[in-house]
């Protein structure tokens, strides 16, 4: 059945196909437009370079009046990303606005990667290292990026 | 005596909401079009799908902004600029 939410998601999908933000791809599951898979590529010339980070986005019928639930499936090391992949980002919580679409959400998450907010830590170790020992923080991020490739290979073997 | 006799005429008019040429920020459908509400009541562009302005000068389909404001418990804010939403008179 076509609902306002689903029609809006179709528009979001059309926009992702015709005008995708750089380093981001996303599409709904074949049989369920309320559930999307997305990949954010680590921005060049940052410790995140070369990483492929997978996410799932789950919408409710209240979208765009309520934000979707976005989680990382790739294991992350970042001050604002929980161990279970949950993301601490204001626009996905109390600063949500119905003008955001899939493209804007993912672009915000992509910029959060390289521009964390240490004031709302979700991973205390990443947050502490980011503030106190940037060199070690970047080393840990790079290790995580390499692990994301291993995950990729494991999935390919399955 | 006229040399031609008009048998039939078809009049066509173009219209647009005053001063807006953009999409509704909420449903992303053009403001001259219909918001994606599933009811038959909102299927004809024009007076059936009114556009409203806030004091902040941002415009939305009436049904879209009403739905958004309805989901907000305390602060009634404009989706574009987050200023307190007041309908412009």
In the prediction, which pLDDT does A158 show?
A: 58
Report the run of H or E that residue B61 belongs to, with start and end: strand B59-61
Question: What pLDDT was estimated at residue B33?
Answer: 86
Q: Which of A119-123, B15-19, B57-61 is predicted least confidently?
A: B15-19
CA neighbor of B47 nearest in space, from B66, B36, B59, B32: B32
Residue A7: closest CA among chain B residues belongs to which residue?
B36
Instruction: Choose among B28, B29, B64: nearest Cβ to A101.
Output: B28
- Give the residue numbers of A annotated as catalytic, written as ranges: 88
State the average pLDDT over residues A131-152: 92
Residues β-bridged to residue A53: A40
Choice between A141 and B3, residue whose per-residue pLDDT is larger: A141
- Flag whether residue B28 sits within 8 Å of chain A, measured between CB atoms: yes
> Mind listing the pLDDT tens digit for each residue in A64-103?
999 999 999 999 999 999 999 999 999 999 899 999 999 9
- The residue ranges of every structural domain in chain B are 20-89
- The interface residues of chain B toward chain A in range 47-66, judged by CB-CB distance below 8 A, are 64
- C-alpha distances (whole Å) from B73 to each of A145, A154, B36 are 41, 46, 24
Contact at 8 Å (CB) between A42 and A77?
Answer: no
Of A133, A125, A90, A129, nearest in space to A109 by CA: A90
Which helix (H) or strand (E) segment is A132 a member of? helix A124-132
Q: Which residue has the higher pLDDT, A148 or A88?
A: A88
**Chain B residues touching residue A101 (CB < 8 angstroms):** 28
Name the minimum distance, in Å, from the CA of A122 to any CA of chain B. 26
Minimal Cα distance from A4: which residue of B?
A: B36
pLDDT value, residue A156: 67
Count of CA atoms in the C-beta half-sphere (13 A) of A84: 4
pLDDT given at position A75: 94
- Structural contact between residues A55 and A38, judged by C-beta atoms closer than 8 angstroms: yes
Q: Are the beta carbons of B79 and A11 separated by less than 8 Å?
A: no
Reported ipTM: the value is 0.79
Sign, CA torsion A134/A87/A102/A155:
positive
Question: How far B16 CA sits from the closest chain A CA (Å)?
Answer: 22
Q: Which CATH superfamily is domain B20-89 in?
A: Zinc/RING finger domain, C3HC4 (zinc finger) (3.30.40.10)
Q: Is the pLDDT of residue A58 over 90?
A: yes
Instruction: Check pLDDT > 70 for residue B41.
Output: no
Q: d(Cα A152, Cα A113) in Å, to the nearest integer?
A: 20
Q: Mutating which of A33, A61, A64 best tests the B interface, going by the most B Cβ atoms within 10 A? A: A64
- pLDDT of residue B39 exceeding 80, the answer is no
Confidence (pLDDT) at A2: 80
- Asked if pLDDT for residue B20 goes beyond 80, the answer is no
Q: Over range A55-68, report the average pLDDT.
A: 97
At A42, give phi and psi (nearest 5°): -60, 130
Order of all β-strands in the sheet with A24-29: A24-29, A32-41, A52-58, A69-72
Of B29, B36, B71, the CB nearest to A62: B71
Give all strands (DSSP E) within A19-156, no chain letters. Answer: 24-29, 32-41, 52-58, 69-72
Is residue B32 a contact partner of residue B17, using CB atoms and an 8 Å limit?
A: yes
Q: Give the range among A49-53, A89-93, B9-13 with minimum mean pLDDT.
A: B9-13
List, for residues B49-83, the tens digit of each pLDDT value: 889 999 999 999 999 999 999 988 777 899 999 99
Over 90: is that where the pLDDT of B19 sits?
no
């Amino acid at each position: 059945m076509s609902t306002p939410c689903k029609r809006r998601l179709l528009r979001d999908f059309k926009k992702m196909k015709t005008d995708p933000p750089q380093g981001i791809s996303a599409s709904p599951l074949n049989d369920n437009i309320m559930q999307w898979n997305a990949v954010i590529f680590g921005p060049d010339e940052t410790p995140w370079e070369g990483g492929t980070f997978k996410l799932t986005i789950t919408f409710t019928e209240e979208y765009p009046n309520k934000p979707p639930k976005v989680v990382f499936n790739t294991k992350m090391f970042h001050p604002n990303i929980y161990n279970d992949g949950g993301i601490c980002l204001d626009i996905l919580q109390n600063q949500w606005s119905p003008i955001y679409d899939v493209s804007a959400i993912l672009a915000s998450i992509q910029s959060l990667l390289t521009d964390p907010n240490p004031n709302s830590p979700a991973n205390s170790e990443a947050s502490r290292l980011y503030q106190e020992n940037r060199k070690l923080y970047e080393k840990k991020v790079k290790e995580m990026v390499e692990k994301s490739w291993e995950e990729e290979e494991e999935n390919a073997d399955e | 005596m006229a040399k031609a006799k008009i048998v039939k005429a078809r009049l066509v008019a173009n219209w647009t909401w005053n001063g807006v040429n953009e999409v509704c920020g909420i449903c992303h459908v053009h403001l001259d079009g219909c918001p994606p509400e599933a009811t038959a009541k909102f299927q004809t562009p024009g007076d059936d799908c009114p556009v409203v302005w806030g004091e902040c000068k941002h415009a939305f389909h009436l049904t879209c902004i009403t739905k958004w404001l309805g989901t907000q418990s305390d602060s009634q804010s404009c989706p574009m600029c987050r200023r307190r939403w007041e309908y412009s008179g």
